[in-house]
Amino acid sequence: MAEVKLSHGIWVVVADGEKALFLENKGDGLHPRLEVVRELSEENPPTRAQGTDRPGRFNDGPSPHKSAVAETDWHRIAKTRFADEIADKLYHAAHRGDFREVVLVAPPLVLGEMRKKLHKEVAARVMGEFARTLTNHTVPDIEKSLMAA
């Protein structure tokens, strides 16, 4: 992606499947100073901790053969739902006029899900996307990572 300038007032959303930070740049393009506007979190244990059933099986017709059915990936479904929630929060914030521009930072799966769910009003304000996991970094580390990108 082309260089993204973190101008004054731009929002940076740093998310993964369990946590999201909504940050606003209170500094300028050369010296960003990101401040937390909002934080969302959701518990999302691995699928093995969420599912209790064995994988299903079904008959292959009149023969005695059976085929296995893959277990539902509850962890991935929860990530998708969380991406939907982030997109919804961004829509409401954009509708209120809380931000003019936004940069999205998330792992590829979450970034793709958010992109699919973004309202056109929010999608028009996306100035950049970074496929990275930075949710467990400090805000100064997030600033450095974005400036180095």
Q: What is the pLDDT of residues 111-142, one digit of tens each?
A: 998 999 999 999 999 999 999 999 999 999 99
- 15 touches 21 (CB < 8 A): yes
Q: What is the pLDDT of residue 55?
A: 60
Q: What is the pLDDT of residue 40?
A: 87
- What is the percent of the chain with per-residue pLDDT over 70, rounded to a whole number? 77
User: What phi and psi values does residue 62 have, to the nearest 5 degrees?
Assistant: -75, -5
Q: What is the pLDDT of residue 1?
A: 44
Confidence of residue 44 (pLDDT cuts 50, 70, 90): low
Within 10 Å of residue 102's Cβ, how many Cβ atoms? 24
Closest CA to 40 of 103, 92, 82, 93: 82
Question: Quick one: which H or E segment has residue 139?
Answer: helix 139-148
Q: What is the pLDDT of residue 19?
A: 92
User: What phi and psi values does residue 58 have, to the nearest 5 degrees?
Assistant: -140, 155
Convert the pLDDT of each residue in 75-118 to its tens digit. 677 778 888 999 999 999 999 999 999 999 999 988 998 999 99
Question: For 11-41+73-148, which CATH superfamily applies?
Answer: eRF1 domain 2 (3.30.420.60)
Q: Domain residues of the chain, as ranges?
A: 11-41+73-148
Q: Which two tokens stand for residue 45?
A: 């244990």
Average pLDDT, the chain: 84
Residue 7 has pLDDT above 50, yes or no: yes
